[in-house]
Amino acid sequence: MPVITFSSPKGGAGKTTAACLLGSMLAERGASVTMIDADPNLNVRDWAAQPGLPANLSVVSNVTEENIADEIEQAAARSAFVVVDLEGTASLMASYAISMSDLVVIPVQGSQLDAKQAARQMNLIKQAEKASRRPIPFAVLFTRTNPAIVPKTQKHIEKRFSELNIPVMQARLSDREAFRAIFSYGGTLQGLADKGVSNLNTAINNAAEFAGEVVQILRDARTQASKTETDPKVA
């Protein structure tokens, strides 16, 4: 089953938030999901320990450099989706997880510092591709964006990514109270309906758009892989 890894060497890029939103949205749609918390901060574990977690979503947090490959393999055997939240540093653990991934999502805020760190992450993915001898799809995800205005700095970064043919997700995760609230109340966005969180429906739609695009990227990658296997000249 697909393994989606969230990885960024820069703290505060929105990596854990994006991972939890994806995992919970997939679970709300009825898919079985295993989330692997490989970040020493263990924020996914703490979120999952609160009320409201879907019964079809489980979290594994006893992850080490020695066992992460086994944990991912076991999770993929029992769940429709595996979502991995990696630590924010380049490490053997990160390399192992990336090498087993069907998609690596690189969260980036609209700043040059984040863009620079994203470039480092892409280099790590390229190294993992060489080690695993297969292409590893990845995409940049802009997070904590302003839903009304795109700042000039972000426009400049997006233009540069486009010039370099770096895949960037069409969905952007906006800076929304609901995305922070799930870590206070636990559970899913849908479970915040009675918590008085502002613009909840808009936040749910934003997260659903993001989850839908992830699923589509996985489908497209699988189709491309099938074509390549059928006709090696297709690349």
Tokens encoding 120: 């480092």
Identify whether 235 is part of a domain. Answer: no
CATH code, 108: 3.40.50.300
Residue 78 main-chain phi, psi, to 5 deg: -115, -10
Extract the tokens encoding 146: 């302003």
Q: Is 23 a member of any domain? A: yes
Q: What is the pLDDT of residues 37-87, one digit of tens each?
A: 999 999 999 999 999 999 999 999 989 999 999 999 999 999 999 999 998
pTM passes above 0.85:
yes
Tokens of 97: 């997880």
Residues spanned by the domain of 118? 3-230
Determine, yes or no, domain membership for 52.
Answer: yes
Structural domains in the chain (count)? 1
- Whether 137 maps to a domain, the answer reads yes
The pLDDT > 90 percentage for the chain reads 74
The predicted-structure confidence for 181-194, as pLDDT tens digits, reads as follows 999 999 999 999 99
Residue 14 is given by DSSP the state: S
